[in-house]
Amino acid sequence: MKLLQTIGVTAALLASCAHSSPMPLRKRFGKSGDVIRGVNLGGLFVLEPWITPSLFQEWDGSDRKVVDEWTFCAVLGKDECQSRLQRHWQSWVTEDDIETLASLGLNHVRIPIGHWAFAPSDSEPYVQGQIPYLEQVIQWAGKHNLNAIIDLHGVPGSQNGFDNSGKFGGIGWQQAQENIDRSIQAVEGIARIAAKHADIVDAIQVVNEPANWGLSVDGVIDFYRRAYTSFRSIAPDAIMVIHDAFLSPNDWGRFNVRGWDNVILDTHNYHVFVRDRLTMGRDQHLEATCEDAKNVRGFNNQLWTVTGEWSLATTDCAKWLNGMEKGARWDGTLPWEMNGPVYQGATCSGQNSIAAWDQETRTFMRQFAETQMDAYESGSGWFFWNFKTEGADDWNYIELARHGLVPVPPTDRVYSRYALDNDHWRIRLNSTWCHE
């Protein structure tokens, strides 16, 4: 896909938005020209212990706390860290993986990467060398008719304190101007790669998941403004992707900046990290997804709205999902607000293994997949997290597809509230869970 075609946006539609649309949305995305259908290549350039526990296993139970890429390199030292990560970069995403993803009917990959690949500092333990491997993955994507979004997943000081920002702990991104400047330097580095591979890289995410509870939202928006200007001078045709900073959909209008063109709002929908979702029954998960559809559909008239991360997990039982050596809310092995398991006797045994799922569970997972695809395509599409994992099948798109638990291609839906008619979705109102 190249960025395709003009979207006719009528004056009436513009007038109906709560805020002015940021100039006509003049380009489209996705190989089919309608929506993004993709997966994340997580765990490649930003380590997460739960995705690749084999890389962290030697420190399980150790006094040496290795919990993220920062501590991975700090404990190993740069030479050994470089050696191990080089092997990892060569093997975690292969051309066979990319070819498989294309064969599943997807049209995009989202590639997370940390600031340290583009804006290194002697004060940080990270190592470099990612860029040749990033370009190799991009070239494979192009070869197999996929497009790519490059996602700045971690910034100096950490934008959220999560291990997936590169450094677990505090939220220090806005505490020093140098952090902001280096983040812009990283965005510009990504933009140069996007410009070099403009026929493949159609968008740049300027920061992943900035946490509103530890940051100034006005400061986040100021960063978005600066990033927009900086990378557009290098890659003028690339779409800018901004995250919703975990704000309520009622507050998304703050990101609709007058004068912006070709901007995607990225939102992430998981059902396992907050009590109201984790404690739901199966039909409630499906019904809640229909509510998510209303949010993305409603804002998609102002900024293209893409669900950049989602999964089929309904428990947080994946090993180390909540952090290295941490347990799960589901079975009460992680301290949380319920002070115990989700329900008496709740167990993590078999929760993340397709082999352990009975037919009722498998049917639900397929329904859950289709309901989420329906929901997020009422906006501008989706990226599943993740393309694969070492052990958590409910987060592993390739494995789910192999077992028929996600539709292949994604339009081949059985339980959908939509029907595909001449390459266009038309709503059908016989869904058990979603009602117009």
Confidence grade of residue 64 (pLDDT, cut at 50, 70, 90): confident
Spatial contact of 207 and 155, defined as CB atoms under 8 Å apart: yes
Instruction: Name the CA dihedral angle for 161, 165, 166, 169, rounded to a multiple of 10 degrees.
Output: 0
Confidence grade of residue 421 (pLDDT, cut at 50, 70, 90): low
Retrieve residue 127's tokens: 């190592």
Spatial contact of 210 and 248, defined as CB atoms under 8 Å apart: no
Distance from C-alpha of 249 to C-alpha of 434, rounded to nearest angstrom: 19
pLDDT for the residue numbered 36: 93
Catalytic residues: 209, 309
Q: Where are the beta strands (DSSP E) in 36-180?
A: 36-40, 108-114, 147-154
pLDDT in tens, 324-334: 999 999 999 99
**By mean pLDDT, which of 169-173, 379-383, 420-424 is the weakest?**
420-424
pLDDT in tens, 186-219: 999 999 999 999 999 999 999 999 999 999 999 9
Q: pLDDT at residue 11 above 50?
A: no
Confidence grade of residue 414 (pLDDT, cut at 50, 70, 90): confident
Q: What Å distances lie between residue 2 and 27, 97, 303, 356, CA to CA?
A: 9, 22, 19, 42
Helix pair angle (130-143, 177-196), 10° resolution: 40
Confidence grade of residue 140 (pLDDT, cut at 50, 70, 90): very high
* pTM of the predicted model over 0.75: yes
Single-letter amino acid, residue 76: L
